[in-house]
């Protein structure tokens, strides 16, 4: 890919830009932020790690979207971070205005770009991006499920004392307290996790996964997670750039899948060069289906707060 732009040079955006450059996923990574000097300084600092880390990607910082023109892909991390006691929904009005402005700029600078949204509350910000850009659903995808699944796999690996690489899992639903870890599809090298852990332990892991972001916010006090979120977004970008057809849980605009319509929600998605290539419908237990429906209702409720 020729150019990828990361919007927002805070902790998530800056870490993301660094990871994209190190993996050489584009010839140029542009870091855009409204704070004067910050994207330029961070971009230059990152570019200067190239000779040490062994990459030739150029990292450029900017306060406007001129250098972002004709980017094939945007990753949107702009917005305020959560503070202790804040729910993701508390962020909604402020971040909706920010993401709306960003989306208008993206549409002008790169009308054919694919957009990966990271800003919270995630599913609602995806909807804002899609509405404002007018892009088809293939080109607006949200990063949530990859992060939630990584947290779930981390906690399972710790409880089972096995490598994270051997744990296959997927977390669906909205990015927040209503997310739906699919216990029925969770395996360790093909062995159902229900054969390895009792129900009570699994329930506690599922609950810790749901509140995983808040757990980090409570430690940090003045910010939220960024190492794992940036890694998760990069995994999605890599699947698109390298046309890998990976099946990853992402927030996608549903049009009847899982019996849900006109809402962004985390579902199994196949990602490739065109962005979202396919939404894969898997059979859910009655409890999982009910939880997914409840999650969708929670996202719709938050959408109702936003004036576009």
pLDDT tens digit sequence for 34-68: 999 999 999 999 999 999 999 999 999 999 999 99
Mean pLDDT of the chain: 95
- Reply yes or no on whether the pLDDT at 89 is more than 90: no
**pLDDT for the residue 81:** 74
**pLDDT for the residue 90:** 74
CATH of the domain at 161: 3.90.110.10
**pLDDT for the residue 308:** 85
Same-domain pairing of 289 and 149: yes
With respect to residue 290, please indicate whether it lies within any of the assigned structural domains. Answer: yes
**pLDDT for the residue 223:** 85
pLDDT tens digit sequence for 205-227: 999 999 999 999 999 988 889 99
Same-domain pairing of 177 and 35: no
Same-domain pairing of 151 and 290: yes
Same-domain pairing of 176 and 291: yes
Same-domain pairing of 174 and 66: no
With respect to residue 203, please indicate whether it lies within any of the assigned structural domains. Answer: yes
The SS3 call for residue 28 is: strand
Is 175 catalytic? The answer is yes
- Reply yes or no on whether the pLDDT at 143 is more than 90: yes
Contacts 24+ apart (CB under 8 A), 276-285: 276/137, 276/138, 276/139, 276/141, 276/250, 276/252, 277/138, 277/245, 279/252, 279/254, 280/247, 281/257, 282/182, 282/185, 284/182, 284/184, 284/258, 285/184
Give the domain extent around 191.
145-303
Residues 288 and 180 sit within 8 Å (Cβ to Cβ): yes
Domain boundary among 115, 142, 169: 142
Same-domain pairing of 189 and 256: yes
**pLDDT for the residue 14:** 98
With respect to residue 164, please indicate whether it lies within any of the assigned structural domains. Answer: yes
- Reply yes or no on whether the pLDDT at 88 is more than 70: no
CA dihedral 7, 10, 14, 17 (to 10 degrees): -20
Percent of the chain's residues with pLDDT above 70: 99
Domain boundary among 98, 126, 142: 142
With respect to residue 73, please indicate whether it lies within any of the assigned structural domains. Answer: yes
Same-domain pairing of 153 and 258: yes
Instruction: Give CA–CA dist 298/293, Å, rounded.
Output: 9
Find all residues with CB under 8 Å of 243, minimum gap 6, and list them: 272, 273
pLDDT tens digit sequence for 161-176: 999 999 999 999 998 8
Catalytic residue from among 175, 186, 217, 276? 175
With respect to residue 74, please indicate whether it lies within any of the assigned structural domains. Answer: yes
pLDDT tens digit sequence for 236-273: 999 999 999 999 999 999 999 999 999 999 999 999 99
Average pLDDT over residues 128-141: 98
User: How many domains does the chain divide into?
Assistant: 2
Same-domain pairing of 17 and 32: yes
**pLDDT for the residue 263:** 97
pLDDT band (50, 70, 90) for residue 145: very high
**pLDDT for the residue 85:** 75
């Amino acid at each position: 890919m020729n150019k990828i732009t990361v919007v927002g040079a805070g902790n998530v955006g800056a870490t993301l830009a660094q990871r994209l450059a190190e993996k050489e996923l584009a010839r140029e990574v542009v870091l855009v932020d409204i704070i004067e000097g910050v994207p330029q300084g961070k971009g230059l600092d990152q570019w200067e790690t190239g000779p040490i880390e062994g990459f030739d990607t150029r990292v450029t910082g900017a306060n406007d979207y001129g250098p972002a023109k004709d980017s094939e892909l945007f990753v949107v991390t702009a917005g305020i971070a959560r503070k202790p006691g804040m729910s993701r929904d508390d962020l909604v009005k402020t971040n909706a205005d920010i993401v709306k402005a960003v989306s208008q700029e993206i549409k002008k600078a790169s009308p054919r770009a694919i957009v990966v949204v990271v800003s919270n509350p995630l599913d609602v910000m995806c909807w804002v991006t899609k509405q404002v850009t007018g892009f088809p659903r293939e080109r607006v995808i949200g990063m949530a499920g990859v992060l939630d699944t990584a947290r779930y796999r981390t906690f399972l690996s710790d409880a089972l004392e096995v490598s994270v690489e051997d744990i296959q899992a997927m977390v669906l639903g909205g990015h927040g307290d209503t997310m739906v870890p699919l216990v029925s599809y969770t395996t360790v090298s093909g062995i159902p996790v229900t054969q390895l852990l009792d129900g009570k332990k699994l329930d506690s892991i599922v609950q810790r996964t749901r509140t995983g972001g808040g757990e980090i916010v409570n430690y940090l006090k003045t910010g939220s997670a960024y190492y794992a979120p940036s890694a998760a977004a990069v995994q999605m970008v890599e699947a698109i750039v390298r046309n890998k057809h990976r099946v990853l849980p992402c927030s996608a605009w549903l049009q009847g899948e899982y019996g849900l319509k006109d809402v962004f929600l985390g579902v199994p998605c196949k990602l490739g060069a065109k962005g979202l290539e396919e939404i894969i419908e898997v059979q859910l237990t009655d409890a999982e289906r009910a939880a997914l429906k409840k999650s969708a209702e929670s996202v719709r409720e938050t959408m109702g707060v936003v004036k576009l």
